[in-house]
Amino acid sequence: SQKIEQNSEALNIQEGKTATLTCNYTNYSPAYLQWYRQDPGRGPVFLLLIRENEKEKRKERLKVTFDTTLKQSLFHITASQPADSATYLCALDPAEYSGAGSYQLTFGKGTKLSVIP
Amino acid sequence: DAGVTQSPTHLIKTRGQQVTLRCSPKSGHDTVSWYQQALGQGPQFIFQYYEEEERQRGNFPDRFSGHQFPNYSSELNVNALLLGDSALYLCASSLSEGGRDYNDQFFGPGTRLTVL
């Protein structure tokens, strides 16, 4: 069966350091992989999307890599700040409709990141 | 633009009751997806509505049903509530245009359902 794993439930990191979160998947061939941020009691907020034919994507202090051979994505936050503390979710989209996204996402459980001042 | 809105914010029901949750998509979006998020878990896909029809369904029983209206807003109905239905119910909207590049999906704030 399809399975998505995010490496750890919680990650503590010192302010200013780079946080690296991992997303591994099995029995899945996603066309798109996305990362979301979720704060307690709120809905997920879209951060970055990477396509199956892309290796790396950047947005400000965020960087995502996608290795379809390893079936793994890494999500990096550089120069981390206490305001980055949240749960980060990895989500896969199989893109079943004419190459466009299906928007029927399969999520991992998330990694709770705490940035310590 | 108000983004995706959901109502109510919180809801308390007892076992066996029925509940209806509502979602208004982001302006310009035509597709609504519903997710269930239990505490400490990632969201799980329930179903998706496009052109007023259920387009795809996740692994949820028939007690979960939905509807999409001509203005693209949507409802999620759950019958015969169980304790295990307690969760945050999220609505997400997107724009479906075949062959176009990927469009962002926006989530609402969710409805917290507690079943006693």
Considering only CB atoms, which chain B residues are within 8 Å of A4? 42
pLDDT value, residue A98 = 46
CATH of the domain at A104: 2.60.40.10
Domains held by chain B: number:
1
CB contact under 8 A, A43 and B4: yes
Distance between CA atoms of residues B44 and A53, nearest Å: 26
Look over chain A and give the mean of its residue pLDDT values, rounded to a whole number: 89
Distance between CA atoms of residues B16 and A25, nearest Å: 37
Domains held by chain A: number:
1
Boundaries of domain holding A76: 3-116
Nearest CA in chain B to A50: B102
CB contact B107 to A (< 8 Å): yes
Mean pLDDT of B107-112: 96
Distance between CA atoms of residues A101 and B56, nearest Å: 13
Q: Encode pLDDT of B81-95 as tens digits.
A: 999 999 999 999 988
